[in-house]
Amino acid sequence: MPNLTTRFLAGRDGSPNENIFGLFFSLPLPLINQRKGLVQEADANLKIAQSELKEVELALTTQLRSSYQRYVAAARQVEAYRDRILPKADEAVSLANKGFTEGRFTLTDLLDTQRTTTTAWLMYQDKLFNLLSSQADIEALMEDSVKSNLTESKN
């Protein structure tokens, strides 16, 4: 509600017997509403949205870092199985087969070697699954990041 102000002035106009009196009223009209409350509310909402965005970015960064660490570890394990463990296991089965046919190894020795090699192959498949799973996690996080960046740029 605007305040009404009044002013009363008295004085002379320069002539000895002429007095001047004035009465002024002022009433401020809200012609320009600055809506400071709405501006402050919008500012507060912007700050809340920015802090929520930072929270999501931090969570995504943490997930990405974790997925990348799992990916690197799984890649090393897959490489070790593919390059060293499985070739040696396959060679051991081949030698056990040859030794069994020549009569140097028993059937139990041959089966034990085959079981060990099969276990190594199953472990390799598990490590390969971990590698591909972590790779899929990274790709999903990157896709989410790209989508959120596109959404932000449209807004």
Q: Is the pTM of this model over 0.75?
A: no
The pLDDT value given to residue 5: 84
Q: Identify the pLDDT of residue 36.
A: 76
Question: Amino acid identity of 88?
Answer: K
pLDDT of 32: 66
**What confidence score (pLDDT) does residue 150 get?**
60
pLDDT of residue 107: 93
Low-confidence ranges of the chain (pLDDT < 70): 1-2, 14, 30-34, 145-155
> Distances in Å between the alpha carbon of 147 and those of 52, 80, 142, 144, 153?
17, 36, 9, 5, 10
Q: What is the pLDDT, as a whole number, of residue 4? A: 79
pLDDT given at position 37? 78
pLDDT, residue 149, reads: 63
What is the spatial distance between Cα 83 and Cα 74, in angstroms, rounded to a whole number?
A: 14
Q: Under DSSP, is residue 155 helix (H, G, I), strand (E, B) or coil? A: coil
